[in-house]
Structure 1
Amino acid sequence: MRRLLLIACLLAGPALLAHAQPSPSSPNGAAVPATPAAAAPAASSAALNRLDRVEVSGGPTASSRRRLSTASKIVIDREELDRYGDTVLGDVLRRLPGVTIGGRPGRGGDIRMRGLGSGFTQILIDGERAPAGFAIEDLPPDQVERIEVYRAPTAETGTRAIAGTINIILREPLQKSNHELRLSAGMDRREPQADFSWTRNLKWGGTSGDDFVGAVSVNGGTRQRFNNIDSGTRILDTETGEVLEQTTQVGVSHGRNSNLNGNARLRWKVSDTLSFNLAPFFAFSQNESTSQTNAEGTRFRDNHGDSDGRMHNVRLNLSASYRPQVGETFDLRMGLGGFKASNNSHRRDTQTYAGTTTQRLQDDASSSTEDHASLGGKWSLKTAQEHQWVTGAEAERSARDQVRDTLVNGLPLPGLVKFGNLLGSRSLRFATYTQDEWSPTKQWSVYAGIRYERIETTADAAGSLPETRNVSSVTSPLLHLLWKPDAFPKDQVRLSLTRSYRSPNLNDLIARPSINTTYPEGPNYQTYADRAGNPDLKPELATGIDLSLEHWLPTGGIVSGSAFVRDIQGVIRNQVLLETVSWDSAQRWVSRPRNMSSARTMGLEFEIKARLDELWDNIPPELQLMLVRFNIAAFTSSVRGIPGSNNRLDQQPRGSLNFGVDHRWKALGQNFGSGFNINLVPATTVQQTETLRRHETARKQFDAYLAWSSGSVRDGINWRLSLANLFPNDAEASSEGTSIHSLTGHELLTDSWSRNKTFRVVNLRADMRF
C-alpha cells in the first residue's frame, strides 16, 4: 500500500507541481495555514492538527455535514469545486463514487447516479426541483456554494429519486472579501472558450451592519465546439447472406454557445424572530450550429444543416422565516418562474443521379414556453429530547405550450398536419410530508418520515390528438438509522429503508410524432425509428435498502463502503415496435416509452479520501498534506421479461473508478499546487429489448491541474491551469437488432455504429478577491 502511495506522490509532484487548493487543507475543507519551513516535522504536524481542529469548531465543514447527517450523503464544498477549475458541474460530480456522466468526455453531460440513466436522479436547486428547461451543464460551478448528494431519499427533499438526489446550493455571502472576480480562457480542440464570473457581497443596516446581507453572482461566457460525424448501418438478410443496404455518413459540425447567468441570495433581518429571503435566478443562452455530411448508400448523399436556438429561464423565490421561540421555526416559500426556448433548423439534402440533381429541403421551427408557480410551507421543532420534527406541504402548477412546424420543400408533411402544430399541457403537483429525527442515545440516531405526492398532467386536444390526462400518486415511507458503536468511536454504520419513484416526463406522455429524417417516407428500420409519446404511462416505484460503513480518520479523512438494492416495478423503457401509423401508408418502426415488468438493481461502492499522513506513519514532511482520493463502484441489474445475461437497465454501466492525488509544494516563496484524476467507466452491453442490443466502449479520462499564486493568496491573483481529457479516446457505440422483412418473411439483422472523437480541453483561470 505504501509503495503504491509513494508512486502516486511521485506522479503528482515534480511532473504536475501538485495541490488543488490555494492553501493546504484537510479533506473536510478546513484551511490549514502553512508552517515555517524550518520547523521540525513532528512539531509541524502537531501544529497543523491543532489549527485544523480550531478551524472546524468555527463552523460546519463538508466532512462534518456528512458525518452528522442521519441520512447518507456526500458534501462537496467550495474548495472542492475550485480544485480542478471545471467549467461544468458534471465534471465535478464525475469524481464521486458511483456517479457517471453522459456526453463526450471533457464536456459534461447528464448526471447518472449509481449508473442509472436520466430521470432516476433528482436535481434540486436550493432544495427545490430544478426549473423547467434546466440543464445542469448550464449552471457554472462559480455560482455554486456547495453540492449535497443524498444516496437515499428523505421526506423533505422529495422521493422522486430512485438513484439519489443532488441538491445544488447557490452562492452564499463571501466570508473575508467584498468582491470575487474570475476570468478564464481556454481551448477545446482548437476552438476558443472564454468565461467570466463576478460575485459581490452585500451587507448593511443595524448596529452590527448585518440587517441586510447577501451575495449577487453573474457569470457569462462563449464557447465554440467542433464535432465529427462518423456513423453507419448495414442490413443483412440472415437467410441468404445478402447485404440489402449499407450506408455511411461522414462529416463535421461546428457549434457556438453564448450564455449569461445570474443569481442572488438576499436576506433581510426584520427582527430577532423574523427574516425574509429573496432569491432571483436567470439564465440566457444562444446556440448556433452548422453541419456538413457526405453519405454513401442513401438516397441523398450531400447533407447540409444549419440551426440556431435561444433559451430564457427566469425564476424568483421569496421566503419568510419566523422563530417564535428557541427551536421552533415556521417557513413559507413562494416561487414564480418562466421558461422559453425556440429553435430553427434548415436541412438541405442533395442527390445527383444520371446528370440530374435533386434537392430535398426541410425546415423545422419549434418553440416551448412554460409558466411556473409554487407555494410551500413547513414547521420545524427541535425539542430538549433531541427530537427534530419537520412537517410541510408543497403545491406546484405549470402550464406549457409547444409549437412545431415542419416543411419539406416548402410544404407541410401530410402525415403530421392532422396532429396540429400547437400542443398545450398543464401539470399540477401536491405533496405533504412529515419527518422526525432524534437521538435516543449517543450511539443511535433515528430518522422516520412519510411523504405523499400526487401529480396530474393534462394535454389539450390538438388536431387528431384527443385530450389526455394522466394522474399518479405515491406514498413513500422512509427510515434511516445511524449507529456509532461505543467500542469503535471513529466508525459509523448507516441503514436506510425507503420507497421512491420516477414519474414519466412530459414529453414521454404527450410528445407529438417525430419522423426520422433519414427515412422520412415509406418503410424504415429499427435503428431509424420514428418517435412518439404514450399518455398511459405510470410511475416507476422502487423499494430500496442502503447499508454503509464509515471509518473516520483523525483529521477528517474517510474510508467507507456501501451497498444498495432497488426493486423497481413498472420499468419505463423505450420500445421499438412495428406499427400501422396514421402518418404514412407503410408500416413504420416507432419508439415509444412503455411500462414493462419489474427490475432489480444493486451495487457496491468503496471510497478512500484522506491526507497521506493519515494513512502512512512516519511520512516525509513534504508529503504530509498530500490528499489521496480513490473510489470504485460496481453495478448490476436485470429487467424481467428480457432474455439474456445483459438484460440490464438502460444506460447503466458495470461500474466506475476514480483515482486522484492533490498536493501543494513551496518554491521560491510562492505557493504551487497540482494534482490529477483518472476516471474509468468500463465497456457496457445492454439488451434493450428482446430483439435490440446496444454496446458502448469504455470511457477513460485523465485530468490534471496546476495552481499558483502571484502575490498573497487573499490579495493577489490565484492562477489555475486545467487540462481535461488529457489523453483523448474515441467514444464508440453500436447496436444490433433483428426484424422480419415485410415482403419475404426473412429475418433481417440491422447493425449500426457511431464513432465520436473526443478532444483535449485546456483552461487558464485567474481568481481575484478584493
Structure 2
Amino acid sequence: MRPSRSASATVHQARDLPLRPLTLALMLAVGPSAWAQTAPPAQDTPPLATRPTPATPSSTPAPRARPDAAPQPRPPADPQKLDRVEIQGTSRDDDQRRASTASKIIIGREEIERYGDSTIGEVLKRLPGVTTGGRPGRGGEVRMRGMGGGYTQILVNGERMPPGFSLDELPPEQIERIEVMRAPTAEFGARAIAGTINVVLREALQRRLNEVRLATTLERDRVTPSLSWTRNDKLDDEGNAYNLTVNAMQHKRLDDINSRSLTRLLDDAGNITRETLLTNSGQSGDERKSLNLTGRLQLKLGGGDTVAIQPFVMVNRGSSTSRFNQVQTPALPADDIDHIRYTDAATDGDSRATMARLNVQWNKRLNETSRLETRVGVGRMTMSSDSHRLETNSGAFYRIQDDDTKSRDTSWSFNSKLTHQMDNDHNLVAGLEGEGTTRNQDRLCAQSYDAAQPARNCAYLADFGDNVTASTRRFAAYAQDEWSVGKQWGFYAGLRWEGIQTESRNNQGPVSNTSHVLTPLLHGVYKLDEKSREQIRASLTRSYRSPNLNDVVGRLSLSNRYPCDDPALPCTTNTIDSPDRMGNPGLKPEMATGVEIGYEKYLSKGGLLSANFFYRRITDLIRSQAVLETVPYAPVQRYVVRPRNIGDATTYGVELEAKFRLDEYLSDALPINLRSNLSLFHSAVDGIPGPHNKLDQQPRYTANLGADYRLRSLPLTLGASLNYTPSNLLQQSAQVLADIDKKRVLDLSAMWTFSPAVALRVSASNLVPLTYGNGTVSTTSDRIVLAENTGRSFTVWQVRLEMKI
C-alpha cells in the first residue's frame, strides 16, 4: 500500500518522473532564444494588431508605387500552375494579452476548440500553472498556481456563480473566450489570491453563424451523446443583433471503488499492539442529462447607447448508484470501537438542479470621453437530492437511511461603472457593486435499525435542525487609473473596498460573520522597444479569500462508520480518519500580499516566450482540519472537520511559457505550432512541521507540451498535448500526511475539413490511462491509520460533426 511507505522513500523514488517530456518542455520554454542565434535574424515588425496580412510568402516586401507612377507590366502567368498563397492572420488573443497593463492570458474560440474538449477544465489544464482536481481525463475543479479551492476566483461574464455551480457544467460550445488574470484588479475584484478566471459567454454577432454540432463520447463502453446549436444574426440594418446557443447532453460514468485502511494500535511506549486491515471494493456509477441555454440580445439606441439582455438557463437531472463490500481482518468483537457494524452498503440517489439567470446591461455614452455601464441581474438556483442507503451485515439487515434535501438560492446583483478618458492618456474607472444570495434549505433525514419498523427522524439532528436559512450580502466600491508615460511605460493603480456579511438561522440560533477588506493594487509594464515586441511586467497587490457560505454554515454530517443512532450500541468517539463534518461561523478572511514580475517576447509569426515570477504572503490561512471536540450530540469527544484559521503561509514560483512555429527557427522545418509551459511551485505553512507543509493540493511543478499541424496536401489538422503533474506529499496538519498521485494525460485530435461548412473531429483524451489514487497517514497518541483510495482512469473518445448551415 502506497501510504505505508515513509515520506523520505517517496521523495527519493521520484514516482516515475517522465524526464524526456519534461526536458522537452523546458527546452521549448527557454531554448528558442538559443536556437535563434543560428537562425536568420527576424525583421522588425509592428505589433500584431497593426501588422498587414501578407498576400504572398515572399520575404522581401514589394516597394510601394507612387500615385503618379505608370502601371508596371506583370509577368505572364503559367495557366498550368497555381501560385501558392499563404495567409497569416493576426493573433487576436495575444493582441489583448500584449496590450493589457495587468498580466492577462486570453483563450479564444480557436484554442477552446483545438482538441475537442468536453469540459472547461480540460481546456484550462494546458495553461501555465493551472491544475485540475479529480481523475485524469475528467476535468474537475480548476486551480491556479496549484493552490486549492477558493484561491482561484471563478467568474461567468464577470459575476460569481451561486454555490453548487461547477464550471464543468458549462459546455465549451457556449463560451466566446476565457480570460485568465494572474493578479487581481479593482474592476474584477480582489478575492483572487491565486488569480481570476473569467468565462465570457457567446456574444452577439461577432460574425454571422448558424452552426450545429453533433458529438458522441465513449468512456468505458458508456456512450454520451450531445447536440449543440449556435445562431448569430442581425435583426435589422441598424446593428441590432442576437446570439442563441443551446446544448443538450447525456452523460454516463462508471468507477471502481477500491480502498484499504490499516489501523495500528499503539501502547504508551509507541509499540504496536494490534493491526487491523479494512478493505472496501465495489463500483459506483452516475448518469446525468443536461440542457443549457445562453443568449444575448444586443439593441442599439440613439446616441451610441446600447442595451444587452442575457439569459442563462441550466437544467440537470441525474441518478447515481453505489455498491460496495467491506471486509475486516481480523474480525473484531462488537464492543470494540473499530468493529465494523455492516459488511455491505448499497446507495441509490436522484438529483435535480435548475438555474436561471437574467442580466440586463445598459451602456450610456455621456460624451466623447465618458461612458456609463450599468448591469443588473437576478437569478434562482434550485437543487434537490434524495438518497436511499441500505446497510447489511453478512446478509442480515442492519440499517436503512433516507436523506432528502431541497435548497433554493435566490440572487440579485448590481454593477455600475463610469469610464472617463482624459487628454493626458489617463483612463479613469470608478464603480459600485452589490450582490446578495439567500439560501433556504430543507432536509429530511430518516433511519431505522429494525426492518419491521418504519424509519424515524435522525436523532442526532435534534440539536441542529433539518432546515437552514442563510444569506450573503456583498458591497464594493472601487476606483482605478490606467495611463501611459511616453511610448514605453504603462501604469495601473487601483483601490477597492469590499464588505461581506453572512447570516444563518437554525435550531442553534443565529449565526453571523462579517468581514471588510481594503485592497490597493499596482501594475506596470515597460516596453523594451516601441513596437511592444518585448516587455516587462510588475505588480504589487493585496488580495484575499473570504469564507464561503458552506464554510460558515455547513450543516452537521456524521461519519457513517461511527453513527450515534444505533440503539444497541452507545455513541462512542470516532477516529481521525473517519471524522464528522461541520461549518465554522467564526472564520476570518485570508489576506495576501502579492508580487508579480514577468517578461514577455512576442515573435514575428505569432509566437510568444514568457517567464513570470510570483510571490504571496498569506495571513489567517484557512484549512479544513480534524480536531477532537466536545460536541452536544455525543457523551464523548469526537473528531470534527471544520475549516479553521490556522496561521500564516508563504508561496512563490515561476511560470515559463513558449509557443511558436517551428519554421521560425528551423528554416527547413514544417510549420508546426508548438506550445509548452513549465511551472515550478514552493510553499510553506507556518506552524505545521515540514518538509511537506505546503498549501493544500499544491504540487512541486506542472508541465505541458503540445503541437498541432495542418497538412498542406490534405484538409487534415492534427494535434497532440501532454499534461503532467507529479505525485505530491502534503502535511495537512501535525497528525495527517496526505499522498496525492501523479497525473499524466495525453490527448490527441484530428479534424478533417470536408468544406468550409462541414468538418469532422476525432479526439482521444487520457490516451494512456493510469491507475489514480490518494492516500493519508493519520497519527494520534494511540494509533496510526494508513488509508488509500485507488481506481482506474480511462480513455475518453469523442467524435464530433460540425456543420455551418
Using the size of structure 1 for normalisation, the TM-score is 0.90
1:154 alignment partner, SS class: coil
Cα pair 1:28 1:62 within 8 Å, conserved:
no
The residue number in structure 1 matching 2:68 is none
Deviation (angstroms), 1:242: 3.1
1:75 is matched with which residue: 83, 91, 106?
A: 106
Cα pair 1:29 1:62 within 8 Å, conserved:
no
The residue number in structure 1 matching 2:360 is 318
The residue number in structure 1 matching 2:283 is 252
Deviation (angstroms), 1:33: 10
AA partner of residue 563 (structure 1): F
The residue number in structure 1 matching 2:651 is 601
Considering only CA atoms, is the larger Rg found in Structure 1 or Structure 2? Answer: 2
AA partner of residue 77 (structure 1): G
Residue 503 (1) aligns with residue 538 (2): no
The residue number in structure 2 matching 1:643 is 689
1:186 is matched with which residue: 207, 217, 232?
A: 217
Aligned counterparts of 2:205 and 2:214: Cα–Cα separation in 1? 18
Deviation (angstroms), 1:48: 9.8
The residue number in structure 1 matching 2:257 is 229
AA partner of residue 695 (structure 2): L
Deviation (angstroms), 1:42: 6.3
Equivalent pairs, count: 719
1:417 is matched with which residue: 457, 462, 467?
A: 462
AA partner of residue 331 (structure 1): E
2:777 is matched with which residue: 736, 746, 749?
A: 736
The residue number in structure 1 matching 2:350 is 308
In structure 2, do the counterparts of structure 1 residues 281 and 489 end up closer, same or farther at CA, with 3 Å as the change threshold?
closer
Aligned counterparts of 1:446 and 1:674: Cα–Cα separation in 2? 41
Residue 632 (1) aligns with residue 678 (2): yes
Gaps of 5+ in 1: 9-26, 741-746
The residue number in structure 2 matching 1:476 is 519
The residue number in structure 2 matching 1:661 is 707
Cα pair 1:313 1:338 within 8 Å, conserved:
yes
The residue number in structure 1 matching 2:630 is 580
Residue 129 (1) aligns with residue 160 (2): yes
Residue 369 (1) aligns with residue 405 (2): no
Cα pair 2:473 2:500 within 8 Å, conserved:
yes
2:416 alignment partner, SS class: strand
Deviation (angstroms), 1:325: 1.8
Aligned counterparts of 1:704 and 1:28: Cα–Cα separation in 2? 29
Cα pair 1:719 1:765 within 8 Å, conserved:
yes
2:384 is matched with which residue: 342, 348, 360?
A: 342
The residue number in structure 2 matching 1:431 is 476
1:723 is matched with which residue: 764, 776, 781?
A: 764
Gaps of 5+ in 2: 1-19, 29-46, 64-82, 329-339, 449-454, 565-571
Cα pair 1:133 1:313 within 8 Å, conserved:
no
1:441 is matched with which residue: 486, 502, 517?
A: 486
Deviation (angstroms), 1:30: 12
Trace 1:151-550 onto structure 2 (pairs within 5 A): 151-205=182-236, 209-238=237-266, 239-297=270-328, 298-352=340-394, 357-409=396-448, 410-460=455-505, 462-463=506-507, 465-486=508-529, 490-521=533-564, 522-550=572-600
1:548 alignment partner, SS class: strand
Aligned counterparts of 2:208 and 2:700: Cα–Cα separation in 1? 45
In structure 2, do the counterparts of structure 1 residues 577 and 158 end up closer, same or farther at CA, with 3 Å as the change threshold?
same
AA partner of residue 540 (structure 1): E
Cα pair 1:49 1:555 within 8 Å, conserved:
no
Aligned counterparts of 1:176 and 1:69: Cα–Cα separation in 2? 24
Sequence identity (%): 38
Cα pair 1:29 1:79 within 8 Å, conserved:
no
Aligned counterparts of 2:326 and 2:446: Cα–Cα separation in 1? 22
Aligned counterparts of 2:557 and 2:514: Cα–Cα separation in 1? 25
Deviation (angstroms), 1:586: 3.0
Deviation (angstroms), 1:130: 2.3
Trace 1:546-561 onto structure 2 (pairs within 5 A): 546-561=596-611
1:493 alignment partner, SS class: strand
AA partner of residue 133 (structure 2): G
Summarize deviations over 1:264-312 as a string: whole Å, max 9, x none.
1111101232211101101110111111101102321111110110001
Trace 1:618-629 onto structure 2 (pairs within 5 A): 618-620=667-669, 623-624=670-671, 626-629=672-675
Deviation (angstroms), 1:45: 14
The residue number in structure 2 matching 1:24 is none
2:122 alignment partner, SS class: helix
Aligned counterparts of 2:663 and 2:690: Cα–Cα separation in 1? 48
The residue number in structure 1 matching 2:732 is 688
AA partner of residue 684 (structure 2): S
The residue number in structure 2 matching 1:675 is 719
Residue 140 (1) aligns with residue 171 (2): yes
Deviation (angstroms), 1:501: 0.4
The residue number in structure 1 matching 2:451 is none
RCO (CA 8 Å, sep 6+): is it higher in 1 or 2?
1
Deviation (angstroms), 1:615: 2.9
In structure 2, do the counterparts of structure 1 residues 650 and 726 end up closer, same or farther at CA, with 3 Å as the change threshold?
same
Cα pair 2:736 2:776 within 8 Å, conserved:
yes
The residue number in structure 2 matching 1:14 is none
Summarize deviations over 1:730-760 as a string: whole Å, max 9, x none.
11111011113xxxxxx21111110021111
Deviation (angstroms), 1:555: 2.0
1:272 alignment partner, SS class: helix
Aligned counterparts of 2:62 and 2:114: Cα–Cα separation in 1? 23
Summarize deviations over 1:379-418 as a string: whole Å, max 9, x none.
0011222111110000112111112222221122222122
In structure 2, do the counterparts of structure 1 residues 4 and 527 end up closer, same or farther at CA, with 3 Å as the change threshold?
closer
1:439 alignment partner, SS class: strand
In structure 2, do the counterparts of structure 1 residues 221 and 63 end up closer, same or farther at CA, with 3 Å as the change threshold?
same
Cα pair 1:30 1:61 within 8 Å, conserved:
no
Deviation (angstroms), 1:654: 1.1
Cα pair 2:737 2:778 within 8 Å, conserved:
yes
Cα pair 1:309 1:342 within 8 Å, conserved:
yes
Cα pair 1:132 1:339 within 8 Å, conserved:
no
AA partner of residue 692 (structure 1): V
Aligned counterparts of 2:97 and 2:650: Cα–Cα separation in 1? 28
Deviation (angstroms), 1:722: 0.8
Cα pair 1:283 1:313 within 8 Å, conserved:
yes
In structure 2, do the counterparts of structure 1 residues 222 and 32 end up closer, same or farther at CA, with 3 Å as the change threshold?
farther
AA partner of residue 442 (structure 2): V
Deviation (angstroms), 1:41: 8.4
Deviation (angstroms), 1:519: 2.0
Cα pair 1:32 1:48 within 8 Å, conserved:
no
Aligned counterparts of 1:68 and 1:768: Cα–Cα separation in 2? 34
In structure 2, do the counterparts of structure 1 residues 164 and 45 end up closer, same or farther at CA, with 3 Å as the change threshold?
farther
Aligned counterparts of 1:245 and 1:4: Cα–Cα separation in 2? 46
1:129 alignment partner, SS class: coil
Aligned counterparts of 1:574 and 1:29: Cα–Cα separation in 2? 47
In structure 2, do the counterparts of structure 1 residues 29 and 389 end up closer, same or farther at CA, with 3 Å as the change threshold?
closer
Cα pair 2:49 2:95 within 8 Å, conserved:
no
Cα pair 1:694 1:734 within 8 Å, conserved:
yes
